[in-house]
């Protein structure tokens, strides 16, 4: 009773659950232009997932997997698949490649592929992250309702049907957790706990016994995507879009949101996106009006590029940014390779690299 | 259109939400709360107190009202200047004693007694005034001390002469008339209080001293900086307060005729409560005489009724104290939150259903198909300009443009490299038009319609029009004169984009998308200004058609272009010629081949179109989401279109990359070139038009060739 009343009151005044406040980017997440100024290694068509395997950096690009050598040089295609590649992972020995049809190709150290498929309880196929650990393969299925390329719909429908699965070499499959709001990245903490970035809830959680999620890092100012281990302990976290008041407001306006989802092309929604300014049909926010030909870096933006360095307990230490006036947006994956941090930008469709010690000095 | 949609449309058509914000931003809105308290208290106590409206009770309470009313007005004046006068009760007692002593004891006539009593009270007030105004002692402590001193003095006097006063009893008809007389059924004291109230009101609102007083109360430091004699002003308020108290005590003495020591006892709290409950701010600067009187009626109704209802006198003081507390709380909260309330309710979106958006894809084959024709424009004044909304040429090919700083800037022909300040007007200079005499007519945001003579002299033409009948905000003043054009007979038709927002927040009007704008006609022959068309959705560009009898105008947020005939056989007819633009039209100008150019200063976004049918959504957005995050149509992208008299769109010019002209608000064809301006831009672009008449100028088109 009181809860219902409180709900109505909050809806009327815009407080509590209905508040649209967004945490500021501050402290270790203070904006800079390090990601925007990073070296652009190569233009890649539809880049998404990155991993290091066999001394090379692998990047997924649509249905292909591209390989980059440590010494530089043009990327080479090392795999062509029937469906788009949605995630890559390697433990140094074996490589796992998830495809948009929900299958996973697990290639062992000898190069022998095994084909795995998500069980039907997983629902639709949107494998966003993989984690290979010897004979064990962990799989994050973003949503049971949409396919990976339709992520925006899941976000705007406030989807929370994601799940985590564990495959054992030999065939055993087990569900570790369910009802996650788009698990987008996986990582193993030093003490053996499993962590996952829950993108629509802007947090990183640990998955405990019985699939219980406990937050390790909550209230992020951006939508987190994939996690990868950092040398010297800790992790790298990529985030592809900022949280904005307007989107938070949209998420609380059920009628308008439903109408938008039903009648408007997702590219033109008031929603997070991988790149901004590609079409004038995208809605503009007041602070984003160009004055004297200039877009302010602090303008409200629906896309962003953020790579954050987290410590072993998943707390942020430093960050690399590409702000509203930049283009390296929609960063969905970052890995450390050859002493540098590499990030895949869906917004700029390229691979960038910067020195990890830059932020150390800045911070 | 669904039922829900229809209901929403009707709901927003017939419920004028925007009125609330406009009412709240009125100065007199502060009176509303005390006024309703007044009506409420009279209604409540009038119905439960027996004999409330009996003539005798009414006459007695109005006389009492008058006496307290004088004191309350005095207190209000002191508080308006930021002070407080606690000594009023003691001054009242002294005034009462003095009056009785002069009349009864010394037998002085009334007309001598009154000035003497007033002068004596003024002298007492001067003591307060000198201490607080000139010696700058704290008002609260000083008047608390003088309260005690004068109270003791009054008590001593009553103790010494009280018995002799009581035995005296000189009476004159005038004295009795002042006490019990009526003028057309109204007690004399009441009449006097009304006359004094009117005088004080005029003084406060219309005189130099009154303005100084309010300025001192509003901000002492600023008043001092503005050259106001703060100390003298403060001092005078105490003199006024005590004099008015003296006047009150004079009538009190006439009515009661007793020098008992309880005269004016506790009056400071009563009066303070009255003044604060009436809505006069304790902090100074806000309030009025009327509010003081309203508060007095409320408080006296309250206390007298409680006494008649048989409450013990202690209890009625308690009620008074609670009333004071409530008054102070409301005062503080209202003052602090008023502007917040206004800012959250002022933006009041309306329902607007956008027509289907025509295609703009490069391969769509539509006249709006995107292209890169504006990519290679030559730039003029890059980085030297701030907001060239419109561009125009004189007969010597010099280019004129406006700026956010209120200048008219001239670039000299032929290469437009040399820039000079042609005139400074002060408000943002928007639309331009040359008239028959080569005078540059210009719409100035926030100022109205001006003209600049060839030597640079600025002349105001008009800044007000007829006020519409039911408008709450004063819509007679020009708030955002936007674009203009001149008919062959010299009449100037110009648009005022919105009457609810200033130039700095013009984009906010798009959140409302209501018919807030109008088209106004100024006739230089008669000097008269009148509104021609009203309730237009951000009317923007105006262009006289080639027939000389009609003009085209753009309604920006409605994405349409209409035509209005002001002369000829179709006079008075209004017709939408392009109902469904893909973007937001701005300025319209003539092209050399008899067609018209129109700048689309922004493009429609589907989500925004959808939101236009959801006013509640937009209202909540305006209330909850930070101003900078609000959703707008995309005014970072624009294009230029060309259309003919029938409203057929012929072609469009785009800068798809949005580098040079992310926003185009105007364009002007001149001798085979097209010149492009933008209100948020820092450059003017020019583009060679290969098929245009290389000798055509708009001056010739409007006024004929000179040579």
DSSP code string of B373-384: TTTT-EEESTTT
**Residue A15 placed within a domain:** no
Backbone angles phi, psi at A52, to 5 degrees: -105, 125
User: What residues of B are in contact with residue A11 (Cβ under 8 Å)?
Assistant: none
User: What residues of B are in contact with residue A20 (Cβ under 8 Å)?
Assistant: 624-625
pLDDT-derived band at B658 (thresholds 50, 70, 90) equals low
pLDDT of B216: 95
User: What residues of B are in contact with residue A300 (Cβ under 8 Å)?
Assistant: 628-629
C-alpha distances in angstroms, B319 versus B158, B295, B303, B306, B315?
30, 15, 8, 9, 6
How many domains does chain A contain in total?
A: 1
The tokens describing A20, both together, are 């649209």
Residues A258 and A270: their CA atoms lie apart, in Å, by 12
C-alpha distances in angstroms, B661 versus A74, A291, B30, B445, B676?
37, 11, 47, 22, 8
Cβ–Cβ below 8 Å for A300 and B628: yes
The alpha carbon of residue B578 is apart from the nearest alpha carbon of chain A, in Å, by 20
- The answer to whether residue B609 scores a pLDDT higher than 60 is yes
Mean pLDDT of chain A: 90
Mean pLDDT of B558-563: 95
User: What residues of A are in contact with residue B602 (Cβ under 8 Å)?
Assistant: 280, 284
pLDDT of B168: 58
- The answer to whether residue B269 scores a pLDDT higher than 70 is yes
C-alpha distances in angstroms, B21 versus B24, B513, B611?
5, 16, 21
Mean pLDDT of B105-110: 86
Mean pLDDT of chain B: 89
User: Who among A20, A285, A300 is closest to B624 (CB)?
Assistant: A20
**Poorest-pLDDT segment among A148-162, A262-276, B307-321, B686-700:** B307-321
C-alpha distances in angstroms, B200 versus B65, B95, B220, B277, B292?
17, 21, 21, 19, 12
- The answer to whether residue A176 scores a pLDDT higher than 60 is yes
Exposed, middle or buried, B695 (CB in 10 Å: 0-12/13-18/19+)?
exposed
- The answer to whether residue A330 scores a pLDDT higher than 80 is yes
User: At A341, which CATH number?
Assistant: 2.120.10.30
pLDDT of B26: 81
The alpha carbon of residue A288 is apart from the nearest alpha carbon of chain B, in Å, by 8
Mean pLDDT of B675-685: 88
Find out whether A94 and A109 touch, Cβ atoms under 8 Å: yes
The alpha carbon of residue B630 is apart from the nearest alpha carbon of chain A, in Å, by 5
**Residue A192 placed within a domain:** yes
Give the chain B residue nearest A248 (alpha carbons).
B625
DSSP letter for B692, please: S
Residues B547 and B563: their CA atoms lie apart, in Å, by 12
Candidates A153, A324, A159, A156; CA nearest to A250 is: A156
Residues with Cβ < 8 Å from B600, sequence gap 6 or more?
B581, B582, B583, B584, B585, B586, B638, B639, B640, B641, B664
User: Who among A285, A288, A290 is closest to B663 (CB)?
Assistant: A290
pLDDT of B313: 66
Find out whether B654 and B622 touch, Cβ atoms under 8 Å: no
**Residue A45 placed within a domain:** yes
Domains defined for chain B, CATH in brackets: 31-45+55-343 (1.10.3470), 378-462+476-701 (2.120.10.30)
- The answer to whether residue A363 scores a pLDDT higher than 50 is no
pLDDT-derived band at B529 (thresholds 50, 70, 90) equals very high
pLDDT of A23: 92
Helices (H), chain A: 2-13, 151-156, 245-252, 254-263, 357-362
Residues A302 and A247: their CA atoms lie apart, in Å, by 8
Residues A270 and A21: their CA atoms lie apart, in Å, by 17
The alpha carbon of residue A258 is apart from the nearest alpha carbon of chain B, in Å, by 11
User: What residues of B are in contact with residue A249 (Cβ under 8 Å)?
Assistant: 620-621, 624-625
Mean pLDDT of A154-176: 91
Mean pLDDT of A144-168: 92
The alpha carbon of residue A85 is apart from the nearest alpha carbon of chain B, in Å, by 30
Cβ–Cβ below 8 Å for B617 and A293: no
Q: Mind listing the pLDDT tens digit for each residue in B129-183?
A: 999 999 999 999 999 999 999 999 999 988 888 777 766 566 678 888 887 888 8
**Residue A213 placed within a domain:** yes
Residues B358 and B371: their CA atoms lie apart, in Å, by 16
Give the chain A residue nearest B389 (alpha carbons).
A292
**Residue A6 placed within a domain:** no
Cβ–Cβ below 8 Å for B636 and A289: yes
Q: Specify the pTM.
A: 0.82
User: What residues of B are in contact with residue A12 (Cβ under 8 Å)?
Assistant: none
Q: Is the peptide bond before B414 cis (omega within 30 degrees of 0)?
A: yes
Cβ–Cβ below 8 Å for A292 and B681: yes
Residues A287 and A301: their CA atoms lie apart, in Å, by 9
pLDDT of B279: 85
**Residue A9 placed within a domain:** no
User: Who among A282, A295, A299 is closest to B605 (CB)?
Assistant: A282
ipTM over 0.85: yes
Mean pLDDT of B424-448: 92
The alpha carbon of residue B664 is apart from the nearest alpha carbon of chain A, in Å, by 11
- The answer to whether residue A278 scores a pLDDT higher than 90 is no
Mean pLDDT of A153-180: 91
pLDDT-derived band at B554 (thresholds 50, 70, 90) equals very high
Mean pLDDT of B571-596: 94
Domain of A164, in residue numbers:
22-284+299-362
Residues B36 and B298: their CA atoms lie apart, in Å, by 10
Find out whether B654 and B370 touch, Cβ atoms under 8 Å: yes
User: What residues of B are in contact with residue A289 (Cβ under 8 Å)?
Assistant: 507, 632, 635-636, 680
Find out whether B246 and B122 touch, Cβ atoms under 8 Å: yes
Give the chain A residue nearest B609 (alpha carbons).
A283
**Poorest-pLDDT segment among A23-27, A193-197, A215-219, B280-284:** B280-284
């Amino acid at each position: 009773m009181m809860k219902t009343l409180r709900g109505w009151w909050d809806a009327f005044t815009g407080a509590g659950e209905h508040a649209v406040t967004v945490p500021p980017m501050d402290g270790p997440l203070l904006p800079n232009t390090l990601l925007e100024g990073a070296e652009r290694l190569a233009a890649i068509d539809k880049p998404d997932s990155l991993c290091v395997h066999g001394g090379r950096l692998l990047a997924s690009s649509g249905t292909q997997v591209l390989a980059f050598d440590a010494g530089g040089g043009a990327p080479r295609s090392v795999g062509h698949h029937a469906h788009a590649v949605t995630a890559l992972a390697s433990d140094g020995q074996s490589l796992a490649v998830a495809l948009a049809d929900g299958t996973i190709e697990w290639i062992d150290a000898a190069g022998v592929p095994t084909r795995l498929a998500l069980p039907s309880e997983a629902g639709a196929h949107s494998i966003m992250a993989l984690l290979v650990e010897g004979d064990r393969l962990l799989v994050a299925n973003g949503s049971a309702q949409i396919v990976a390329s339709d992520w925006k719909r899941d976000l705007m429908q406030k989807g929370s049907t994601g799940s985590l699965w564990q495959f054992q070499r030999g065939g055993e499959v087990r569900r570790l957790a369910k009802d996650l709001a788009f698990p987008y990245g996986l990582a193993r903490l030093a003490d053996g706990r499993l962590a996952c970035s829950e993108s629509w809830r802007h947090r990183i959680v640990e998955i405990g016994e019985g699939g219980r999620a406990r937050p390790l890092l909550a209230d992020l100012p951006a939508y987190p995507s994939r996690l990868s281990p950092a040398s010297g302990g800790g992790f790298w976290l990529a985030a592809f879009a900022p949280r904005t008041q307007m989107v938070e407001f949209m998420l609380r306006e059920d009628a308008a949101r439903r109408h938008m989802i039903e009648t408007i092309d997702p590219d033109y929604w008031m929603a997070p996106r991988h790149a901004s300014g590609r079409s004038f049909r995208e809605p503009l926010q007041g602070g984003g009006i160009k004055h004297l030909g200039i877009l302010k870096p602090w303008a409200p933006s629906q896309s962003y590029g953020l790579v954050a360095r987290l410590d072993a307990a998943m707390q942020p230490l430093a960050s690399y940014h590409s702000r509203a006036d930049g283009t390296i947006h929609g960063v969905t994956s970052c890995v450390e390779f050859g002493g540098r941090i590499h990030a895949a930008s869906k917004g700029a469709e390229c691979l960038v690299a910067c020195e990890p010690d830059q932020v150390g000095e800045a911070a | 259109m669904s039922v829900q949609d229809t209901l929403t449309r009707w709901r927003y058509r017939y419920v004028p939400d925007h009125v609330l914000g406009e009412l709240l931003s009125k100065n007199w809105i502060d009176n509303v709360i005390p006024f309703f308290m007044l009506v409420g208290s009279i209604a409540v106590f009038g119905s439960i107190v027996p004999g409330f409206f009996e003539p005798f009770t009414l006459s007695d309470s109005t006389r009492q009202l008058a006496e307290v009313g004088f004191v309350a007005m005095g207190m209000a004046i002191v508080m308006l200047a930021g002070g407080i006068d606690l000594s009023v009760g003691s001054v009242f007692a002294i005034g009462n004693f003095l009056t009785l002593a002069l009349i009864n004891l010394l037998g002085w006539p009334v007309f001598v007694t009154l000035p003497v009593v007033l002068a004596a009270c003024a002298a007492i007030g001067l003591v307060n005034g000198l201490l607080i105004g000139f010696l700058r002692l704290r008002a609260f402590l000083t008047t608390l001390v003088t309260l005690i001193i004068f109270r003791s003095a009054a008590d001593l006097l009553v103790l010494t002469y009280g018995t002799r006063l009581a035995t005296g009893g000189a009476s004159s008809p005038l004295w009795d008339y002042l006490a019990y007389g009526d003028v057309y059924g109204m007690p004399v004291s009441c009449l006097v209080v009304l006359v004094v109230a009117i005088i004080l009101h005029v003084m406060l609102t219309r005189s130099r001293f009154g303005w100084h007083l309010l300025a001192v109360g509003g901000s002492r430091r600023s008043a001092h900086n503005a050259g106001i004699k703060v100390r003298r002003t403060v001092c005078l308020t105490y003199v006024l307060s005590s004099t008015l108290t003296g006047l009150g005590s004079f009538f009190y003495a006439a009515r009661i005729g007793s020098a008992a020591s309880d005269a004016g006892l506790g009056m400071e709290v009563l009066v303070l409560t009255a003044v604060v409950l009436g809505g006069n701010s304790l902090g100074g600067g806000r309030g009025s005489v009327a509010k003081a009187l309203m508060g007095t009626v409320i408080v006296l109704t309250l206390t007298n009724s409680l006494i008649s209802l048989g409450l013990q006198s202690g209890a009625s003081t308690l009620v008074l104290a609670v009333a004071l507390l409530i008054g102070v709380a409301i005062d503080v909260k209202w003052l602090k939150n008023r502007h917040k309330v206004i800012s959250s309710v002022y933006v009041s979106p309306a329902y607007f259903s956008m027509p289907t958006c025509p295609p703009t894809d490069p391969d769509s084959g539509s006249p709006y198909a995107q292209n890169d024709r504006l990519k290679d424009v030559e730039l003029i004044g890059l980085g030297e300009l701030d907001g060239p909304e419109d561009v125009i040429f004189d007969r010597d090919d010099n280019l004129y443009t406006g700026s956010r700083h209120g200048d008219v800037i001239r670039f000299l022909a032929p290469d437009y490299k040399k820039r000079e300040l042609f005139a400074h007007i002060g408000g943002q200079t928007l639309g331009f038009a040359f008239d028959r005499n080569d005078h540059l007519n210009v719409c100035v945001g926030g100022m109205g319609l001006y003209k600049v003579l060839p030597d640079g002299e600025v002349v105001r033409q008009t800044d007000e029009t007829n006020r519409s009948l039911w408008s709450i905000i004063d819509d007679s003043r020009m708030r955002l004169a936007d674009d203009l054009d001149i008919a062959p007979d010299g009449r100037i038709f110009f648009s005022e984009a919105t009457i609810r927002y200033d130039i700095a927040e013009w984009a906010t009007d798009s959140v409302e998308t209501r018919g807030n704008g109008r088209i106004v006609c100024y006739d230089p022959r008669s000097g008269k200004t009148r509104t021609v068309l009203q309730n237009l959705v951000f009317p923007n560009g105006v262009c006289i058609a080639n027939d000389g009898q009609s003009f085209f105008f753009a309604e920006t947020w409605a994405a349409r272009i209409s035509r209005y005939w002001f002369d000829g056989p179709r006079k008075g007819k209004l017709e939408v010629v392009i109902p469904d633009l893909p973007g937001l039209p701005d300025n319209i100008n003539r092209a050399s081949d008899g067609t018209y150019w129109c700048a689309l200063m922004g493009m429609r976004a589907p989500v925004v179109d959808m939101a236009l049918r959801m006013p509640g959504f937009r209202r909540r957005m305006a209330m909850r989401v930070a101003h900078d995050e609000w959703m707008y149509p995309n005014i970072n992208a624009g294009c230029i279109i060309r259309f003919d008299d029938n409203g057929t769109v012929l072609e469009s010019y785009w800068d798809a990359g949005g580098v040079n002209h992310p926003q185009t608000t105007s364009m002007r064809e001149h001798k085979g070139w097209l010149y492009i301006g933008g209100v948020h831009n820092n450059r003017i672009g020019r583009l060679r038009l290969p098929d245009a008449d290389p000798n055509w100028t708009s001056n010739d088109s409007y006024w004929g060739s000179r040579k």
